[in-house]
Structure 1
Amino acid sequence: MKRLHLICLLLAVCCQEITAQYRVAVIGSSTAGGTGAWPLDSAWVRRFNYHYKHQLGIVDSTYTLAVGGYPVYKGMPGSYVPPPDRDGPDHNNNVTKANAVLASLPVPANAIVFVNYPSNKYEQYSIAEIMFCLQTIYDSVLKAGHRCYIITTQPRTGGPFDDPAVKRKLAVIKDSTIQRFGVANTINFYDGLYNPADSSILAKYNSGDGIHYNNAGHRELFERVLAKNVFATPLPVKLTKFIGNYSNASIALQWTAECTDPNTSFTLQRSTDGRNFENITVLKAKGLRSSLYEFTDRQPSPGKNFYRLRISETASLVMSNVILVKNPQEGLQVKGLYPNPVNQPDLEAELLSAQTYSGIVTVLNTAGMSFYRKETNFEKGLNKLIVPVQFLPHGQFILCIRYGDGNSILRTFSK
């Protein structure tokens, strides 16, 4: 009888070792709940669960503890007492509940909590209290022995979020979140998903209400979570070299990879800021051996060009490291500055822009004193810039135009 009991125990242990070993909880509001996606299986959390539970078989359960309209205070620990004018925690959908549903895992570090409160009531809250709430939730997860990922804000319009100052606040909260918790512990649901002209959700990702992402948006969110590779699943591709060189107005890119999956593909992506990437080509694996892959980018952006590889296999997706290749061509060129000397109320500049840039225009005297400052946008093509100068005293001045990722142009004029 004892022998039979021992055999059963060993079988149970072995079965436990070959079954799914990870568990996930998601707390948050409507984005985590899937609003904007239809059918709901298109939502980022559902896609995540399907990939890791049904395709890879390494997650046994994903608990969605998200309620539409919930602010971050709702996710606070059950013992937390909020200020009189703030919401209290929801004991069925907060971090305490998340830790409880993950508690039975034999290895606590195999449990993950995603925290996804993108915007609700952030127009009312100070950035300091938002960071306090996120830090308290994060610390609660780590205290339980689990791992935690804080998801940033996302772009939004409508109501108070039509105010440009509130929109900028969402961007500042995004930056504050990444700075506080580090890139390794955050997932960016903001950069690359908004229209630079008005900070709204990009049309291709907008569900129509200006608040939530559509199916394409949720797909992008899922891919960002997938790229984080939170379970450190091994990648059959061995990438041994990834380089780029500028020559003759083009950038030649090379990488060497050894594949074990015949369905592997490499999507080469480019960015001008290292955050927002676009696809420029897709190459299929040459075979199950170490091979050299090459592509020439004949239309690189002026200035900095960041490249990375999106490596897709049958059951996994990861991103390579990012490389930087500089194009010495200026992205913004001054084609004319007149009149100079200035004998009218305005100074006019004609600018040729290789792409859309946000920028800052300032007028300084030779001692460095600022007389004028204005934020503006430069559209691709020819731009006309009007700078009022009627208030300037007579003398020598510098027109400084900053654009893109730290680029600048200086031109002198006199009055």
Structure 2
Amino acid sequence: MKIQFLLKLLCAGTFCGWYSAAAQKKVVIMGSSTAAGFGSSTYQLSWAGRLEDSYNINKTDGEDTVFYNLAVGGYNTYQELPAGYTQPAGRPSPDPLADVTKALGFHPDIVIINLPGNDVGAGFSLTETMCNFRLMYNTVTAAGAKCYITTTQPRNDYNIAQRQALLVMKDSILGEFGNFAINFWDDLVTGDGLNMLREDRRSLGGLVHPNDTGHNYLFKRVKDRNIFRATSVNSLINITKIYRENNGDNLIAEISLIGNQNVLMTIYNIAGILMQQKKWYLPQPSERMIVPIAALPTGIYFFKLSTGNSTDAVKAFIK
């Protein structure tokens, strides 16, 4: 099942160079009801609709920006993980019409993931939700695209404990993804410590979704992130090549760097579970890392290097 997933990605070219000389840019929006435009009076006034319009105002700039919105109301992180992911018992499987693999099939430059809270309502733990976000992020960036994860959003249909869980998850997303996290919390939340959705930014008669005003605040958060011109994921460090030696027992990563770097090396499996982690010092301009992987079971993995300055490099490999 997992090998089938990898073959799908390989056939789609997601581990190869996609980018042509054409100026067209592609953005895929994934997520649940807010990303689908719920709460706004029209889709054009949702954050996603406003974003699309904003990038297509200038028709003479030579950049044709195309948007694909795969969001489905009510969805959680499990339903949008890569195809072939084997979910734990009692968890939903990925939807092939809305998951990461579907998103990568469009060969995007940017993927924005807006899954702001259904995991909490479903009773999923913070750990598993963050693992799911990490897996989606790593899958997208390993394919050569930029990935942005939006934070949770306040909602009034949850109890106090659930609203607190949303707050904690917001902080976790901002801490984990740094420049590639987008804060959808602060502009919507009440200032009384109850973590409720503000009345003036809440859809009329609803408890969950922002209204046109609320969606406009979310749009501004995405717009301010400057998604096309933000610092590249691999600006300070890049994995130029990755392969195995010594009968497959050693993973070799050839690295190019701007400046000497202290990095954190991590290896995740396809379920987003941490398998190895180690700190390294890498001198510029290049370095060859040798990582023992004999103890890893056969499978698909993500090799990630983090500098601590919101700069990551990620590559997938097979053991």
Fold similarity call, TM over 0.5: yes
Q: CA deviation at 1:79?
A: 1.2
Match of 1:354 in 2: none
Q: How far, CA to CA, are the matches of 1:139 and 1:174 in structure 2?
A: 19
Alignment of 1:48 with 2:51, yes or no, is yes
Pairing partner for 2:114 from 116, 131, 145? 116
Rounded Cα–Cα distance in structure 2 between residues aligned with 1:83 and 1:164: 27
Q: 1:146 deviation in Å? A: 0.5
Shift of residue 59 of structure 1? 4.2
- 1:136 is paired with a residue whose SS is helix
Q: Runs of 4+ in structure 1 displaced over 2 angstroms?
A: 53-60
Rg larger in structure = 1
Query: How far does residue 20 in structure 1 lie from its aligned partner after superposition?
Result: 4.0
For 1:87-122, what per-residue CA distance to the aligned partner results, in whole angstroms no more than 9, with x for missing partners? 11001111111111126xxxxxxx000010001131
- How many angstroms apart in 2 are the aligned matches of 1:195 and 1:152? 16
Q: Which structure 2 residue ranges, 5 or more long, are not aligned?
A: 1-19, 231-319
Aligned to 2:210: 213
- Are the aligned partners of 2:24 and 2:66 in contact in 1 as well (CA < 8 Å)? no
Distance in 1 between residues matched to 2:80 and 2:220, nearest whole Å: 25
Does the CA-based 8 Å contact 1:49-1:59 persist in structure 2?
no
Distance, in Å, in 2 between the alignment partners of 1:131 and 1:28 is 15
Asked if 1:203 corresponds to 2:199, the answer is yes
Q: Do 1:74 and 1:90's aligned partners in 2 also have CA atoms closer than 8 Å?
A: yes
Scaled by the length of structure 2, what TM-score is found?
Answer: 0.62
Asked if structure 2 preserves the Cα contact closer than 8 Å seen for 1:36 and 1:214, the reply is yes
Residue type of the alignment partner of 1:67: V
Superposition deviation, residue 196 in structure 1: 2.5
Q: Cα distance 1:222–1:59, how it changes in 2: closer, same or farther (>3 A)? A: farther
Alignment match, 1:193 = 188
CA distance in 2, matches of 1:68, 1:93: 11
Aligned: 1:171 with 2:167: yes
The one-letter amino acid paired with 1:26 is: I
In structure 2, distance between residues paired with 1:73 and 1:132: 10
CA distance in structure 1 between the partners assigned to 2:228 and 2:138 by the alignment: 20
Residues 187 and 217 in structure 2, CA contact (< 8 A), matched pair in contact too: no
SS at match of 1:173: helix
Indicate yes or no: 2:129 matched with 1:130.
Answer: yes
Question: 1:242-261: CA deviations, max 9, x gaps?
Answer: xxxxxxxxxxxxxxxxxxxx
- Distance in 1 separating the partners of 2:64 and 2:52: 8
Report the counterpart of residue 23 of structure 1 in structure 2. 26
Aligned partner of 2:143 in structure 1 is: 144
How has the CA–CA distance of structure 1 residues 228 and 63 changed in structure 2, closer, same or farther, with 3 Å as cutoff? same
CA distance in 2, matches of 1:135, 1:176: 11
Contact 2:45 2:212 in 1 (8 A): yes
Distance 1:26 1:53 in 2: 16
Give SS of 2:210's match: coil
Root-mean-square deviation (Å): 1.6
How do 1:215-254 residues align onto structure 2 when only pairs under 5 Å count?
A: 215-232=212-229
Deviation at 1:60, TM superposition (A): 2.7
Matches within 5 A, 1:184-333: 184-197=179-192, 198-208=194-204, 209-232=206-229
Whole-Å separation in 1 of the counterparts to 2:165 and 2:196: 13
Distance 1:76 1:68 in 2: 16
Match of 1:84 among 75, 85, 89: 89
Query: Structure 1 stretches of 5 or more lacking a match?
Result: 1-15, 104-110, 234-415
Q: How far, CA to CA, are the matches of 1:188 and 1:213 in structure 2?
A: 14
- CA deviations 1:327-369 (Å, max 9, x no partner) are xxxxxxxxxxxxxxxxxxxxxxxxxxxxxxxxxxxxxxxxxxx
Q: Does 1:75 align with 2:80?
A: yes
The letter of the residue matching 1:73 is Y
2:110–2:147 Cα contact (<8 Å) kept: yes
Mapped contact 1:200–1:210 kept (Cα < 8 A): no
Whether contact under 8 Å (2:119, 2:129) holds in the other structure is: no
The count of residues paired between Structure 1 and Structure 2 equals 206
Deviation at residue 143 of structure 1 after TM alignment: 1.1
Q: TM-score, normalised by structure 1?
A: 0.48
Give the aligned residue type for 2:55.
Y
Tell me the SS of whatever aligns to 2:167. Answer: helix
**C-alpha distance after superposition, 1:253-278 (max 9, x if no partner):** xxxxxxxxxxxxxxxxxxxxxxxxxx
Judge conservation of contact 2:33–2:71 (CA < 8 Å) in 1.
Answer: yes
SS in 2 for 1:85: coil
| Cα distance in structure 2, aligned partners of 1:23 and 1:83 | 33
Aligned 8 A contact 2:34 2:209 in 1? yes
> For 1:30 and 1:99, how far apart are their aligned partners in 2?
21
Q: What's the counterpart of residue 36 of structure 1?
A: 39
Query: Which protein, 1 or 2, shows the higher relative CO under an 8 Å CA cutoff with sep ≥ 6?
Result: 2
